[in-house]
Chains A and B, each alone.
Chain A
Amino acid sequence: MSFQPIKFYQTGTFTVGNRLLPDNERSVQSTVRRTNSLNSGHRACQGCGEALGARYAIDAAMEATEGQLIAANATGCLEVFSTPYPETSWQIPWIHSLFGNTAAVATGIAAAMRVKGRSEVRVVAQGGDGGTTDIGFGCLSGMFERNDDVLYICYDNGGYMNTGVQRSSATPPAARTATTAAVGPTPGNVFGQGKDLPLIAMAHGIPYVATAIVSELRDLEAKVRRAMEFRGARYLHILVPCPLGWGHDSSLTIRMARLAHETGIFPVFEAEGGEVTGVSRIRRQVPVEEYLKPQKRYAHLFSPKPREDVIRRIQEAADRNIRKYRLLEEA
């Protein structure tokens, strides 16, 4: 892990900032010089995890590139809530073209920068899970395969939230969406084979792939920083809870991300050249129920008839992650 936790500085090991740390060791988000790339006044829902994740990631990228950054953005919540005419929340050069072409648009921008000899200008592409794992998958894979100099960031909230919470290929099993209703003998989303984009990205052998969560800011920032040390295609997959689609209280956004990590449901790791080089270990392991219960999209697992069988399958998947990524072992 390129991220070194700070030891025992007051209580601040895991907080955003820490008054006792020297300035250069603080997180970007703790500083007043952060760029607020996604500025106030955006129209995201209360407690939006994507708005948070996007600011975390893009501010970190801005810091890493000393402000020499251009972003391409897929259609989706992030685009709609940030740039409705006549106002934009973005403080960086930013373009929205289509839902499924963001990786390609970014490739074009990177090509333009290369041909103009502006190697200092770096390019990020960003989209939701729908724009990444579904409709934008072809362009993304092409961008990976060519190893274009783009950092692609997927803000995964597990569904098409902008259109009213429909299923995407990133929707987890058993979750209720508008197109996987919580009715019938197998309510909610199917237990499919999954479409693990980080692993697919790694299979392309690109220089850097990482997952992150909004509850581990320092780790997230370190990953963006690390990503910017490479040239070529890089992929960062950030889990961003969605109060609307997940049906949790808006104040629990970070808590849900934390629980996704601490249950093992969402493994947080990084990989270089297709090989896992670090994992963020679970500090206080919790059973998946703690993660599932506050979310209305899983309400049918608890009432009227508790579905221990389904919860067990979810727990098994989390346990597999824990084994596979060694999430509980000492480094």
Chain B
Amino acid sequence: MLKQIEGSRAVAEAVALCRPEVICAYPISPQTHIVEALGELVKGGELSSCEFINVESEFAAMSVAIGAAAAGARSYTATASQGLLFMAEAVYNAAGLGLPIVMTVANRAIGAPINIWNDHTDVMSQRDCGWILLFAETNQEALDLHIEAFRLAQALSLPVMVCMDGFILTHAYERVDMPSQEQVDAFLPPFDPRQVLDPARPVSMGAMVGPEAFMEVRYLEHVRQMRALELIPGWAEQFRDAFGRDSGGLLHAYRTEDAETIVVALGSVLGTIKDTVDEMRARGERIGVLGITCFRPWPANTVRDALAGAKRIVVVEKSIAVGLGGIVSANVRTSFAGHADTVYTVVAGLGGRSITRQSLARVFASAAAGTLPPLTFLDLDHGLVERALARERDTRHSGPVAEGLLRDVGLVAARIS
């Protein structure tokens, strides 16, 4: 059924169609609308047989989900940014215990300085926590990925995070095709977890494991996650058959055939990149796009195949590994047969900075011309940072960087002395 609704609402309705049994809610922008909508669905009775629990923190949210999942309930929560960091210990724990929890992360920057806008720093901090990480390009895909996530989680006994860009997707009203309950039920089997706390068959979960077996536990966790790479492509086909559209899968390649330059990115920015590529293609430039839907497990072989014909790769990523550079690009380099120097990192859109076609076209062209530096901060205000650096050089007590910059751009009226 086609609906013109907010992304958060679309995700909430999709999650509801997956028949979750326990939902833990704690507010944080830009995720909040999702759990608000779910709360309403539960309270109104539209989503029955579901416990909606208002918890006191994200740490509790994930912990309640852990308990519920361990006791055999399909569990869901959503968070963003600081919330993801606050629950980090439990995030790792859910993965280590192999609990099939699904969580939406409405991606947002991490403070300080505090910033509520979109980038991928939050999820990238948790990229190796043992969860399967899926990135949605559109609201339709966000909706669809949740249905696939629930199936994947229980098939592999692993938690799955569905990442959607905060505000850009969560708060955008778009037309989506909402599947019927029958369609979802046909695709997503009833919840049957690998292990469950049950007085009829007691087990101890979460034992302490020493050096004699810890490596093996981790190895098995890795092997289990890697199995997703085998399952996801087939399920994407099943999904197409069942729902009549392409969603999910490991990667989305766009106009990469014969491309000399391939741009790699995750999430909603792919739309802007595709538009840019279309314009450049129109000018005869051999450029294409590779969207990564499944970031963990990293589909190394599939990426390698997809990039095989390219001469250079430009990775546009909304996060920064401070002190290193790109995170996604570091992953891409492991899966590109060409020279590592030909994988360019473009850090873009941090803290909600707009990513424009114009700027993208400029860096892509620069990459094609061989003039792009290995690490580029898209649309960085060089004047601003130069002044701040100078200030730091001159004055030991130069004050907080963020406030200094804001003063320079004229957003802080009062002088801080």
Question: CB within 8 Å of B: which residues of A?
Answer: 67-70, 72-73, 79-80, 82-86, 88, 90-98, 100-101, 104-116, 121, 138-139, 141-142, 145-146
Report whether A85 and B210 are in contact in the complex, using a CB–CB cutoff of 8 Å: yes
CB-nearest residue of chain A to B92: A98
Report whether B60 and A101 are in contact in the complex, using a CB–CB cutoff of 8 Å: yes
Report whether B56 and A112 are in contact in the complex, using a CB–CB cutoff of 8 Å: no
Contact with A along B195-225 (1 / 0, CB 8 A): 0011101111111111011000000000000
A256-B273 Cα distance, complex, nearest whole Å: 71
A-B contact pairs, 8 of them (CB 8 A): A70-B197, A108-B63, A108-B69, A109-B67, A109-B70, A111-B21, A111-B67, A115-B49
Q: Known: A108-B75, A112-B73, A115-B22. Is A138-B206 also a contact (CB below 8 A)?
A: no
Chain B residues within 8 Å of A108, by CB: 22, 24, 63-71, 73, 75
A80-B65 Cα distance, complex, nearest whole Å: 23
Q: Known: A83-B206, A114-B51. Is A109-B197 also a contact (CB below 8 A)?
A: yes
Q: Is B125 an interface residue (CB 8 A)?
A: no
Report whether B199 and A69 are in contact in the complex, using a CB–CB cutoff of 8 Å: yes
Contacting residues of chain B (67-116) with chain A, CB-CB under 8 angstroms: 67-73, 75, 89-90, 93, 97
**Residue of A82, A106, A114, A138 touching B67 (CB-CB under 8 A):** A106
Q: How many pairs of A and B residues are in contact by the CB < 8 Å rule?
A: 163
A78-B335 Cα distance, complex, nearest whole Å: 46
A106-B89 Cα distance, complex, nearest whole Å: 17
Chain A residues within 8 Å of B70, by CB: 95, 97, 105, 108-109
Chain B residues within 8 Å of A111, by CB: 21-22, 51, 53, 64, 67-68, 73
A76-B197 Cα distance, complex, nearest whole Å: 21
Lowest 6 A-B CB distances belong to which pairs?
A: A108-B67, A104-B63, A101-B63, A142-B56, A112-B71, A96-B206
Q: Known: A85-B210, A116-B73, A141-B56. Is A72-B67 also a contact (CB below 8 A)?
A: yes
Report whether B68 and A112 are in contact in the complex, using a CB–CB cutoff of 8 Å: yes
**Residue of B72, B89, B199 touching A112 (CB-CB under 8 A):** B72
Min CB gap B107→A, angstroms: 24
Chain A residues within 8 Å of B212, by CB: 85
Contact with A along B1-44 (1 / 0, CB 8 A): 00000000000000000000110100000000000000000000
Min CB gap B212→A, angstroms: 8
Q: Known: A88-B207, A115-B22. Is A93-B198 also a contact (CB below 8 A)?
A: yes
Report whether B205 and A96 are in contact in the complex, using a CB–CB cutoff of 8 Å: yes
A110-B67 Cα distance, complex, nearest whole Å: 8
A92-B197 Cα distance, complex, nearest whole Å: 9
Chain B residues within 8 Å of A70, by CB: 71, 197-199
Q: Is B398 an interface residue (CB 8 A)?
A: no
Report whether A98 and B63 are in contact in the complex, using a CB–CB cutoff of 8 Å: yes
**Residue of B90, B202, B213 touching A97 (CB-CB under 8 A):** B90
Q: Known: A84-B210, A108-B22. Is A94-B202 also a contact (CB below 8 A)?
A: yes
**Residue of B63, B207, B210 touching A105 (CB-CB under 8 A):** B63
Report whether A146 and B53 are in contact in the complex, using a CB–CB cutoff of 8 Å: yes
A80-B204 Cα distance, complex, nearest whole Å: 12
Chain A residues within 8 Å of B73, by CB: 108, 111-112, 115-116
**Residue of A94, A115, A142 touching B204 (CB-CB under 8 A):** A94
Chain A residues within 8 Å of B197, by CB: 70, 93-95, 109
A107-B73 Cα distance, complex, nearest whole Å: 12
Q: Is B135 an interface residue (CB 8 A)?
A: no
Report whether B93 and A97 are in contact in the complex, using a CB–CB cutoff of 8 Å: yes
Min CB gap A124→B, angstroms: 12
Chain B residues within 8 Å of A110, by CB: 67
Chain A residues within 8 Å of B89, by CB: 98, 100-101
Min CB gap B207→A, angstroms: 4
CB-nearest residue of chain A to B101: A108
Chain A residues within 8 Å of B50, by CB: 115
Report whether A138 and B64 are in contact in the complex, using a CB–CB cutoff of 8 Å: no
Chain A residues within 8 Å of B204, by CB: 82-83, 88, 90, 94-96
Chain B residues within 8 Å of A101, by CB: 59-60, 62-63, 66, 89-90
**Residue of A68, A85, A95, A145 touching B199 (CB-CB under 8 A):** A68
CB-nearest residue of chain A to B94: A97
Give the residue among A70, A73, A114 with the most B Cβ atoms within 10 A: A70
Report whether B59 and A85 are in contact in the complex, using a CB–CB cutoff of 8 Å: no
Report whether A104 and B59 are in contact in the complex, using a CB–CB cutoff of 8 Å: yes
A261-B112 Cα distance, complex, nearest whole Å: 50
Report whether A107 and B21 are in contact in the complex, using a CB–CB cutoff of 8 Å: no
Min CB gap A238→B, angstroms: 21
Give the residue among A69, A115, A116, A139 with the most B Cβ atoms within 10 A: A115
Min CB gap B377→A, angstroms: 37
Give the residue among A90, A94, A95, A141 with the most B Cβ atoms within 10 A: A95
Q: Is B54 an interface residue (CB 8 A)?
A: yes
A142-B58 Cα distance, complex, nearest whole Å: 12
Report whether A98 and B93 are in contact in the complex, using a CB–CB cutoff of 8 Å: yes
Chain B residues within 8 Å of A94, by CB: 197, 202-205
Contacting residues of chain B (349-390) with chain A, CB-CB under 8 angstroms: none
